[in-house]
Amino acid sequence: MYQLLKQIAKTGIVTGPAPLPDATLRALEQRLGQLILEHFGRALAIRHVDAGSCNGCELEIHAMNSPYYNLEGLGIKFVASPRHADMLLVTGPVSRHMEVALKRTWEATPDPKLVVAIGDCGCTGGIFGESYASCGRVSNVIPVDVTVPGCPPAPVAILQGILTAITPGR
């Protein structure tokens, strides 16, 4: 236990102005906090749906939960059920085998709901495109509010996409 506490003390707080220029990142954090307060009572609940990705985008969603990004400090929380969610974060080209599951997840999410499509595949179908097995981009299956390109998009880009989705007027 001593070693564990020592490691925590030694690590300190790593969250903060990370990969992008400091000022930009700080503005991002503040705006996000205010907007979440305004629109979602300081608690944005996100349900992630992998609709057929290569698992690359999932790695970055996991990375977004690292202490470098302190999501919960921003009021953002990943939830286990679409019924608890304000937003769906959808990755992948939508495989035809996930088409029904994605639609049902969307229907199970209470209104008002937001959808952010993550990654080149979610935005355009990406390298997999449309085929006998793939419906292509997410908006071919459910309405999408914001798209975040990248293969995969970095955690900060995903965070910006979430922010864009809860910005009024968009």
Dihedral angle at the C-alpha atoms of 80, 81, 82, 86, nearest 10 degrees?
-60
Q: At closest approach, how far in Å is the CB of 73 from another protein?
A: 13
Q: At closest approach, how far in Å is the CB of 168 from another protein?
A: 28
Q: At closest approach, how far in Å is the CB of 101 from another protein?
A: 5
CA distance 122 to 51: 9
Binding mask of the shown chain, residues 111 to 140, with x at each position contacting another protein by CB under 8 A: ----------------xxxxxxxx------
Q: Does 57 engage in binding with another protein (CB under 8 A)?
A: yes
Q: Does 3 engage in binding with another protein (CB under 8 A)?
A: yes
Q: Does 149 engage in binding with another protein (CB under 8 A)?
A: no
Best CA proximity match to 128, nearest among 92, 90, 91: 92
- For the four alpha carbons of 153, 54, 130 and 102, in that order, the dihedral sign comes to negative
Q: Does 101 engage in binding with another protein (CB under 8 A)?
A: yes
- The span of 3-11, 23-31, 36-44, 138-146 binding another protein (CB under 8 A) equals 3-11
- The span of 28-36, 43-51, 138-146, 160-168 binding another protein (CB under 8 A) equals 43-51
Contacts 24+ apart (CB under 8 A), 70-76: 70/15, 73/15, 74/29, 74/32, 74/33, 74/36, 75/32, 75/33, 75/36, 75/37, 75/40, 75/42, 75/43, 75/44, 76/32, 76/36, 76/44, 76/46, 76/162
Residues at the site binding another protein, with contacts judged by CB under 8 A: 3-4, 7-8, 11, 14, 19, 48-63, 65-68, 78, 80-82, 92-93, 95-101, 105, 127-134, 151-152, 154
